[in-house]
Amino acid sequence: MRDAHSGTGNVPQMAPAQTPPPLILASTSRYRRELLERLQMPFEVEAPGVDETPLPGEAPAALAQRLALQKAHAVAQRHPSAVVIGSDQVADLNGQAIGKPHTHERAVQQLRAMSGHSVVFQTAVAVVRHHAGMAEVRLSPVVVRFRDLSDVEIETYLRREQPYDCAGSATSEGLGITLLRNVESLDPTALIGLPLTTVCELMRLAGLDPLTAGATGGVSANTSPPMAGHGA
């Protein structure tokens, strides 16, 4: 007979903790990676490799949402059990889509066009988890009013910041803030490129709670190059 005080009797067994699904950021953007790191969750980075060319007549908001979802789906197909985040941002100037300039000359043209005007930065985020049949996309628009910019200011800013991988040629987290008059947004991280409040909401829908998923591990990158387009 077992000793009831020995601790070797019928002790209820704790159910093993469920391992959270892997989290993957389908983006090569350093800005989005740095934003996601704020949640203190282990995640991987993988290039989605999608063509970001706009469709004929495609509105900026529709373009951003389509690309965010395509990026997430592209990586989720390779990792069906993972929770995959895709995001895209398109600057919207009176219905005209303004993407990443990539060159100094195009950046000058973009800033001249936006000078003194309000621009809507259409930031879309999608979360896909193929095994769970989950695919959701949300839009977080940010209205930005640019100051009246002189050519000297534009040249000085571009030479110092070189924001050629940013939609609209301006980085609000850097010197680009000096070009702006005001910003209207429900989520300040949306302007940088990844609205974290929406990301958290969609991750919970996918079965991954940012608060309980743990803060161990780090960030690793899949270095597969993206396809030609506006970037990831």
- CA atoms of 90 and 120, how far apart (whole Å): 8
Among residues 174, 205, 206, which one has the least CA distance to residue 191? 174
Alpha-carbon dihedral angle through residues 169, 175, 180, 182, given to the nearest 10 degrees = 120
- State the CB neighbour count (10 A cutoff) for residue 14: 6
Alpha-carbon dihedral angle through residues 147, 151, 152, 153, given to the nearest 10 degrees = 20
3-state secondary structure 116-144: CCEEEEEEEEEEEEHHHCEEEEEEEEEEE
Positions marked active-site: 88
